[in-house]
Structure 1
Amino acid sequence: MSDLITPFALGLDMPQGDPSAHGVKGANLMTMAQLDLPVPPGFVISTALGRDVSDGADELPKDALEAISAAISTMEENLQQGFGTGEKPLLLSVRSGAAISMPGMMDTVLNLGFNDVVADCVAKITGDERFAWDTYRRFIASFAQVVLECDPYDFEDMLDDLRVAANVETDAELPTERLREAVERSFAIVEATSGEPFPQDVHQQLRLALLAVFRSWNTDRAKRYRELQNLDDTGGTAAIVQAMVFGNRNSESCTGVYFTRNPSTGDATPYGEWLPNAQGEDVVSGMRTPCELTEVGRDLSMSSQPSFEAAQPSLYKELLGIGAQLERHFLDMQEIEFTVESGTLYMLQTRTGKRTPKAALAVAVGLVEDGIISRSDALSRCSDDELSALQVAKVEVSKAAKPLAKGLPASPGAVTGAIALTSEDAVAMAAQGEDAILVRAETDPRDVHGMHAAIGILTSRGGMTSHAAVVARSMAKACITAALDVAIDIDARRFTIGDHSFAAGDIITIDGATGQVYAGPQPLVRPKADGALAKLLEWRDGNDG
């Protein structure tokens, strides 16, 4: 089992990351550690074990358990922390990582290692009971949904009740006593669903979490995504076990997603979102609408919330420097997940950023102009079919009606279609030859089949890096997120925008380049080739790369 476990940490001698063995996430974490970037330590469990478990094993092999235990012991020694102990507890994230990035399709468990004893210990060590109970309730919900297959909406409904009772709008405002109540009510949800109390043994937690992460390779949503994207179905996933850093630690902590270039347009400008006093799942799940990373983004979105650039200028500068270094190393635009704990920046992931076809051209041209790749490299990344398909439609504003709502322009393209309020409706409508626009509060990995069937996606929550936005860009679908004026009543099968009411099947138009929502069909136009597209066509026809 010598190849089963590969540790990574700053200053550690380690092999070159191999996506086929370590997954993209694990391989890139190893690379970042080798580049002396701030990566929390951990270890990668290879895809070989992932394939064995995803093929139906109901337990981890004995030699694998022994190797994992030894790796945990090494982390305990190096960090001077104890897994499941009352003093300086070691807390972990357990994440999937396939050889080809599948954003949001497989499972993650955060804050693993919490139990009643550890929660009391964390409260005592930090002097912050609120942080301890907030993190504990997050772990219970994460573990329950991924490992015990509890319904995520049971936890969200419970938090809605607590926010109403506390008269606050966000989880970050819940007081300590409400978070303690969240823990107790989460225990009740688990026991009602599984028939068993929540496990307090941290080694059992880790074993069950690893089994769930490996098995997530063969969930319906993951298999459907691979089928839709024509991806290999046999590779399996690695698992990354890593020391936690806490974006919810205090007011000097946060989490975010940073694209080194704009994934919708390809412009060479920083782009992303962040949330103060939060963890990564808060940003990417779409359950909360995050803040803008940059001042330019804040101005464009007319947000009243501070940008990361304004709130943490020195960390923002450090983040951009790391992004430039990673872009030159990987020779492509990067999507970076980061966390700040008590004023210290950490890198949790980097990968080639999902982008729209239009953005792909602009990124390729920009990388040439920045001296990172050659013209021939840029042309090799864009086929003739892709070049000809890139003149996406937009609403002809001078002839269109007044828009009724505006959200974030998550993925460009303008489309007219009938409203589908569930993924199943979108699939059924597409099967009948009807163009559907999927309208949801937010999407999650279970909606991937509906997103594929729809010609556009509209969500009332989420942000530019939410599940809906990332998947829509990868599918080249028009998408608007955070259209806050869209109030959906799923039981009544309708939604309202102010005084206007729309039922399932009604026709709307969305423009993913402007974020505007219109009633009924609107005139659409396709622009002529310009900008990056025109430049690439010139390079191709001149063939002087």
Structure 2
Amino acid sequence: ISELETEMPEVYAEFKKNTDILENHYGDMQDIEFTIQEGKLFMLQTRNGKRGGEAAVKIAVDLVHENLATKEEALSKVLPEHLDQLLHPRFSDVESESYVKSVIAKGLPASPGAAVGRLAFTNEKVVENEKHSIPSILCRDETSPDDIEGMYASEGILTARGGMTSHAAVVARGWGRPCICGCTSINVDEEAGELTITLTDGTQRTLKEGDFISLNGNTGEVLVGEQMVSPPAITGNLKTFMEWVDEIRTIDVLANADTPGDAREARKNGANGIGLCRSEHMFFQPERISKVRQLILGDEAQQEDALEELLTYQRADYEGIFTEMDGLAVTIRLLDPPLHEFLPSLEDDDVLTALAEQLGSTVDQLKEQVKASEEVNPMLGLRGCRLGITKPAIIEMQTRAIIEASLNAMSSGVDVKADIMVPLVGKVEEFRNQAALIRSVVAKV
């Protein structure tokens, strides 16, 4: 276009006039096709231009500044997925030749963001890498609850199978981990420690455990090597755009946040409180998961010891969250998932052996206990409030942690606004049972 202005100034002037007319008419950036034949300009077609998150926000802000749209109209032109891209880390230059050449596979963009790390095919390898501050990408055929530790410790998750509602996708979105699922061109060989990719030309490329890869959770692209990552920041056009959102919106926006760090980030990004704090997500750190397993599989004395340890962890977490959200509402959901989600796989002999030593048991005995804990239908089985009814000590511990954390924070001048959510209630009698238990603990504390 810049050359057209120099080579054919009259045609350029006509083209500029036409594009202004079209942009004014449609109130949006246009993707225009045109041709020039024998010095005459022909406008062929126009449509609203496709755009990524950064471009969408810039266009919306520019339209308002150029008086081509009101703030309300400009906001409607930015899609939720555009903002999702900008609120996660992203690769610096996805248009560069080096980036395009590094793409080796593509799957479903199950959870947004950018992740870079060394390939790891097992939970144990990811956890080991984390201890040495080595970033990992957990790569599996598909994930299950047995992979929770590795998923939590990873920078991102890549699976050969599974869709947008698979286990990997749902967990990754909940934790804000970039995730690509259903990447059918990859073959994971855990025993050999290799990932084989069938490229678009039919040839194959093999990567080994420890090789660096990068995941673009916004596009589903898998890249070889380390790509440059830009952290999210609400500045420039995005800051202007979000200020307009705050001017116009008529609802409060509450965050999902499970740690003090999550709460701090939520408040920084303008959340009006925490609508869901999932207490079980505090249990997946390695030193905590062993205590949860002790609580589930240990004898009475070991269970009491585990409850005291978990009380300490939860109280500190809640106090940190209340401090970060000073003056804003925080809704804490009591333990929801079935207990088998915290237990090791029956094939994970190393973890089972260590757990048997911790509990003074045998691997065979633990395997029997793990089998007995498995739910036929995990979505509707012994979980949520039914777990609280059958194991009230867990709810008592969690309630005590919430109340003691509230009192500690209030003694430091924090304005605590805490609510307790009873999960998965199906009958009013279930709620009454749990409400009575919670109130009895509050009265004691």
Q: TM-score range by the shorter chain?
A: 0.3 to 0.5
What TM-score, normalized by structure 1, do the two folds share? 0.27
When you count helix as a share of all residues, which structure comes out higher? 2
More contact order relative to length (CA 8 Å, sep ≥ 6): 1
Larger Rg: 2
TM-score w.r.t. length of structure 2: 0.33
